Amino acid sequence: MTRTTRSWAYEARPQRVVTGRNAAGRLVKAELDRLGARRIMLIAGKSELATAQKLLGGMAAAATFTGVRPHVPVEVAEAARACAAEAEADALLCVGGGSTTGTAKAVALTTGLPIVAVPTTYAGSEATDVWGLTEGTRKTNGADPSVLPRAVVYDPELLVTLPPALTVNSGLNALAHCVDSLWAPNAGPVPTALATEGARLLARGLTAVIADATDLAALEACQAGTYVAAAAFAAAGSGLHHKICHVLGGAYGLEHGAMHAVLLPHVLAFNEPAAPQAAARIAEALAGAGYGDGSHALAALLALHRALGAPTGLGALGLRADQVSEAAELVLEKVPATNPRPVTLPDLKALLHRARTGAEPVRDHVGDSTGETS
């Protein structure tokens, strides 16, 4: 029997990753010294500034930027770039979540300055060469080697105080990197292996962290899962799930992690019938964490969502009923040609309608005419 196989390519991304308990306090200065950095620009949200300043190990920052905003508006990027130029910065230290890392990436994109990233959520941006900027209501994404942080420092102790809701939403954002990588444009054996392991680590780790936020072993598992998930995503590219999220985040300002958490089961429900191998890997990974018996990906994912108390509706995040049709049209322009099944405007309206109202995901709703229209 002759089997046809899909050709694939994998490009490894050069990056140093260090981990461990109190790693941030012990190792950040060493990583900056490795880069020969002397004039460091510190990027952190106001709530994390005090923590970030301690990580410099007695060094004074040449500049500090705290104007971080979700989805990195162009005006924020321009202000951060001006700050770096005025300070004659030679390196960037970003401490925070995905928006903070994204701001550092916006500076690196035009300056080439090296980044040392210290994540305090599970966003995963620190492990990719993907950047995103929002101008008006449109978010533009791209990939460039210059924005990949030179070093990442993972420290589980920095996540002990992360609020449970942010833990869940950020963690499911990381899980979305795993799921989307299995059918993204450059999916192949390497990102698939990373994504499968990432899903297993995240499902186990998140369950334990929600039960005990001080469980450092579980926090380490979540960070490890976040990294391999993001590495898979960087290699495989952006699939349908992330295309939807990029559009909705830019156009309607929906909270990033919660939006990922809500949409993931709906996108899985849509693609699962046409991607049985990907679904089987998801089901097996989640079963390894105690969710399902390894035979039904969607059922296992929904069980995980329920156990974590994940959000279920985009409406609660601010998406109005009269915006569904417009959103579907915007997403349709971005659908990857390699998606496992064709995607039509009625499909997207139906998917977004169900996600907005918090309805149960439907495994096969192609052409569903119940999608709301404006």
SS3 205: helix
Measured in whole angstroms, the distance separating CA 345 from the mean position of its chain's CA atoms is 25
User: In this predicted model, what pLDDT tens digit does every residue of 341-355 receive, in sequence order?
Assistant: 999 999 999 999 999
Encode burial over 242-265: b for 16+ CB neighbours within 10 A, e otherwise: bbbbbbbbbbbbbbbbbbbbbbbb
The pLDDT confidence band at residue 364, using thresholds 50, 70 and 90, is low
CATH number of 16-159: 3.40.50.1970
- Cα–Cα distance, 213 to 167 (Å, whole number): 9
User: In this predicted model, what pLDDT tens digit does every residue of 65-92 receive, in sequence order?
Assistant: 999 998 899 999 999 999 999 999 999 9
User: In this predicted model, what pLDDT tens digit does every residue of 314-338 receive, in sequence order?
Assistant: 999 999 999 999 999 999 999 999 9
Please enumerate in sequence order all residues whose Cβ is within 8 A of that of 54, keeping only pairs 6 or more positions apart, or say none.
Answer: 25
SS3 47: helix
The mean pLDDT value for 99-125 works out to: 97
Which residues face 258 on adjacent strands? none
Looking at the whole model, is its pTM more than 0.85? yes
User: In this predicted model, what pLDDT tens digit does every residue of 138-156 receive, in sequence order?
Assistant: 888 899 999 999 999 999 9
Which residues face 138 on adjacent strands? 135
End-to-end CA distance of the chain: 51
The mean pLDDT value for 253-273 works out to: 96
User: In this predicted model, what pLDDT tens digit does every residue of 182-233 receive, in sequence order?
Assistant: 999 999 999 999 999 999 999 999 999 999 999 999 999 999 999 999 999 9
The pLDDT confidence band at residue 3, using thresholds 50, 70 and 90, is very low
Same topology, domains 16-159 and 164-357? Answer is: no
> How much is the mean pLDDT over the chain?
93
Please tell me the number of Cα atoms within 13 Å of 261 on its side-chain side. Answer: 27
Q: Domain spans of the chain?
A: 16-159, 164-357
CATH T-level topology, domain 164-357: Dehydroquinate synthase-like, alpha domain (1.20.1090)
Please tell me the number of Cα atoms within 13 Å of 130 on its side-chain side. Answer: 25
- Among residues 192, 218, 270, which one has the least CA distance to residue 21? 218
Q: Is the dihedral of CA 300, 295, 278, 332 positive or negative?
A: negative
Task: Provide φ and ψ at 142, rounded to 5°.
Answer: -160, 180
